[in-house]
Structure 1
């Protein structure tokens, strides 16, 4: 994943940004430093986007987990990052004649047969690709919070409505969840806009590093701008936070993907509201030295 770095072009904008109030993400966390989000679960320690990775994040005391949602051939939403099953499952062995093994070409029942853990280590043999229902149920069990990415929405027309339907059926669109336990993000501005139009109460994030000149338009439907950490500057973060998002609060910045202490401290120094990481324990210790709240 690559995002283009953007410099702030207006001195007045920078001045206003530096005076912006503390973000709601930081304020809701109850302490200094950015929110720490476990990328695809605690994916340095358990196979990504599996229930085991959610469990590991909970074991580490991490409130927020991030996941990726795609759609099967028969319309089931499943949690997996790549649009191919090849890297993180044994699909080549189970279905050797089905290259290139795209998620969209397999039914939910076929995907449920796959081993999504052995590639990571023998201890996780037999782990499955979870459905979105299974995933949110596990997050709910741990009373965690969810940063959900709609992956490659151009491959799955209508996935925004379907994702919101599953979230609603599982109880994730009530006031308690939308107030502080759910964010839906995508690299597609059209997808983020669609989520906002379908369910305006849901907090949304746009992945990438759009130009400062484009931020006023995005502020109409995105609560966050979530860029790669290596595209950031103090000025850019401040510029984003100077804008008011669709819910009447300053826009936020969740940066990805930072896995070492030095990088975490550097990124936190830009004033970001959250850091997405495969090693949430490392980032937490580096930026705050204390566990997040579990409220």
Structure 2
């Protein structure tokens, strides 16, 4: 949890952060890494959901870059698997909503990700549905996505999506992360968290890589929280399902790495809700509009 500083203290802290992090714009204006030292003293850590997806097509490299331009270090994404075993970054288990798959492959209904090869998915336009300015944007492979996040010196909250559809995806995701250099000490301690709605998946990731920070997506009953604390570090709930008392109950437990468990809530896109969950004591806020949330929880010292 955090302590709200005065405006003068905030300015001093930002100046110190800029110096300590080498003056990079993304590092200075983005949130600090909760994996390293908890939420920022100015407020909850802000995560760009599927990239800055209010401003660019979700889960594309353009959305990653949009988050960078806005000054955010943390981006969130979703990982699924193609028919030929390539991990790709897309939220839905079908291609219909965020690509032109229906047009390119009219006879392939219901256009499930797992029924297409990586080469077929690479043909699709994943930007025009959002805005014509993004025509030609592609569904990135996880390898491509990791390379862009690395280039931007950003951090990643990676969700393993619908693992029940993709047996073995936990191990494969870790293998790709390792091959891309994302499982070294620096990334694991400061730049990477793996989450899922599946408790079994979170538990397995923890077993395979005990050093890696994990998060469970959901709102377990208070009585069940100790079970989750055995294999995860965070509980990440939908914002409508929590209270200050529930957040306090999570904070009352030590997670898998012996640290106070954290709460990163989603999806919050407006200032009123952002201030509400900040008041509940959440450690992080996952949002499509990170600039709006940052202004609400960090910019508004008088709130």
* Fold match by TM threshold 0.5: yes
Q: How many residues align?
A: 268
Q: Which residue of 2 aligns with 1:124?
A: 134
For 2:99 and 2:215, the matched residues in 1 are separated by: 29
Q: Which residue of 1 aligns with 2:193?
A: 183
In the TM superposition, residue 25 of structure 1 has moved relative to its aligned partner by 5.7
For 1:234 and 1:27, the matched residues in 2 are separated by: 22
Deviations 1:185-227 (A, max 9, x none): 0000000000000011110000000111111111011100000
Where 1:70 maps in the other structure, the secondary structure is strand
In the TM superposition, residue 29 of structure 1 has moved relative to its aligned partner by 4.8
Deviations 1:15-35 (A, max 9, x none): xxxxxxxx9569445422100
For 1:78 and 1:144, the matched residues in 2 are separated by: 19
For 1:136 and 1:280, the matched residues in 2 are separated by: 20
Q: Does the alignment pair 1:78 with 2:98?
A: no
Q: Which residue of 2 aligns with 1:233?
A: 243
Q: Does the alignment pair 1:156 with 2:166?
A: yes
Where 2:206 maps in the other structure, the secondary structure is helix
Q: Does the alignment pair 1:261 with 2:271?
A: yes
Choose the corresponding residue for 1:220, options 214, 223, 230.
Answer: 230
For 2:196 and 2:135, the matched residues in 1 are separated by: 30
TM-score (normalizing by structure 2)? 0.87
- Root-mean-square deviation (CA, aligned residues, Å) is 1.4
Please say if residues 45 and 53 of structure 1, whose CA atoms lie closer than 8 Å, have aligned partners that are also in contact.
yes
In the TM superposition, residue 268 of structure 1 has moved relative to its aligned partner by 0.8
Q: Tell me, which stretches of 5 or more residues in structure 2 are unaligned? A: 1-32
For 1:222 and 1:55, the matched residues in 2 are separated by: 29
For 1:189 and 1:286, the matched residues in 2 are separated by: 32
Q: Which residue of 2 aligns with 1:286?
A: 296
Q: Does the alignment pair 1:36 with 2:58?
A: no
Q: Tell me, which stretches of 5 or more residues in structure 1 are unaligned? A: 1-22, 291-295
Map residues 11-26 of structure 1 onto 2, 5 A cutoff: none
Q: Which residue of 2 aligns with 1:13?
A: none
Where 1:264 maps in the other structure, the secondary structure is helix
